Amino acid sequence: MSKVAVIGAGYVGLTTAACLADLGNKVAVVDIDQEKIAQLKRHHVPFYEPGLHELVERNAAAGRLTFTTSYLDAVPGAEYAIIAVSTPEGEGGEADLSYVESAAGSIADAMDGPLVVVNKSTVPPLTGDMVSRVLKQRNTKHDSAVVSNPEFLREGSAIQDFMHPDRVVVGSHDREAADKVARLYAPLEAPVLITPNIYTAEMVKYASNAFLATRISFINEIAMISERVGADAKLVAEGMGLDRRIGPNYLDAGIGYGGSCFPKDVAALSAVAEGFNYHPELLHAVMDINRDQRMLVIDKLRQCLDELPGRVIGLLGLSFKPNTDDMREAPSIDIAKVLLAAGAEVRAYDPAAVERSRVLLPEVEYLKDAYAVAAGADALVLVTEWNEFRQLDMARIKQLMRNPVIVDGRNIYDPALMRSLGFTYRGIGRE
């Protein structure tokens, strides 16, 4: 059993802490948000992630998982301190590392012996060197080593991703420290890549997310071409995905990516490149396509309704993806704001994200289910592909609507079936 301090009780930090505790380690979670820690002490997870509440409750009850606002309660005696704090996008697209730097300083002030400090926050190359400088400047008595161990957790399946990873990536200038971090993951029996320096491990995370974002923007561009030539982008993607060299994942045309990772990580990697006097043309195109894609919904609504002022538009789904309540960079935000500015009345339903959305979009009317949203609506926009939206009684939906217009932003419905039911249907790349 190892003693671990995890700094940050967000999606990554809390999932990491709960999973490491479930593997038998003694884990203390530190967060400066007093209300969040108070909730966690009551075993209440302050965000939606399937299975996480049960994992936290079980390990907290067993005494393996504790929560505190004090570094002095968590860091002394620990073998590892894992930094899992936010790295938001700065004004120029660069990653804001102020929370990482602050966490490193607080760790240094609290450590009472040798310590391996693990960067699990998504950070650009050279961040590990900054953390190392802070540790050595703030604590000259005790040795520390910095290791990059990027996370690859998807919201909605974070526990599964932690416990059954495709790979574990570890990198450090100190091979002994890297090996020690790799041993934390030994029970998972997963492939481990140990890189010879910290920069390579840091780069793996950015490169992975940028590539996945590129696939999404690529298929969205293909969808725009398909729509114009009369092809079905969903079938085009299926045909591409059957090629083993390509595969089917992240080839779903739609209204683009959102969330806490892809938007800021692509922007941050672009900023890193430009900081070294390299212009990343492909990354800029990926961002441009994604930004434009969500506005296609507005164009399609205007095509179907002629005008937006006074129209009642219903949004099915608000979170940036299913199985999470995360609203960070969610396409629904931009879509709702444009519709409201155009004079439309916007109503919405989401199985998990309504409370978070109320703060961001107070002018939207929030209803109890999809059928309530459809009642009297001039159009529905499928924004988030929650499973419950796939099972709706579409004949009932049509009867409830004032104008049976559906813009399917995730291509989950069959165009021929929808039109046979009497809907004016618009998908993405499926005209």
Residues catalogued as catalytic? 261
Q: Chain-centre distance of CA 235, in angstroms?
A: 27
Q: How far apart are CA 249 and CA 140, in angstroms?
A: 48
| Contact predicate 64/19, CB 8 Å | no
Conformational region of residue 362, where left means phi above 0, alpha means psi within -120 to 50, and beta covers everything else: alpha
For residues 297 and 236, give the distance between their C-alpha atoms in angstroms, rounded to a whole number.
Answer: 21
Q: Which pairs with CB-CB distance under 8 Å and at least 24 residues apart come from 411-414?
A: 411/233, 411/234, 411/252, 411/253, 411/254, 412/382, 412/385, 413/382
In the Cβ-directed half-sphere of 381, how many Cα atoms lie within 13 Å? Answer: 32
Are the C-beta atoms of residues 4 and 28 closer than 8 Å to each other? yes
Round to whole Å and give the CA distance between 41 and 63. 12
What Rg, from alpha-carbon coordinates, does the chain have?
23
| Residue 194: strand pairing partners | 170
DSSP code, position 288: H
Which residue(s) pair with 410 in the sheet? none
Q: Closest by alpha carbon to 71, among 22, 95, 43, 37? A: 37
116 beta partners? 80, 145
Strands across the sheet with 405-408, in order? 365-366, 345-349, 312-316, 379-382, 405-408, 424-426
Q: Which helix (H) or strand (E) holds 365?
A: strand 365-366
Strand partners, 147: 118, 172
- For 184-244, strand residue ranges (E) read 192-195
393 strand-pairing partners: none
**Residue type present at position 321:** K
Q: DSSP letter at 89? A: B
Which two three-digit tokens encode residue 162? 């932690």
Distance, CA of 390 to CA of 226 (rounded, Å): 24
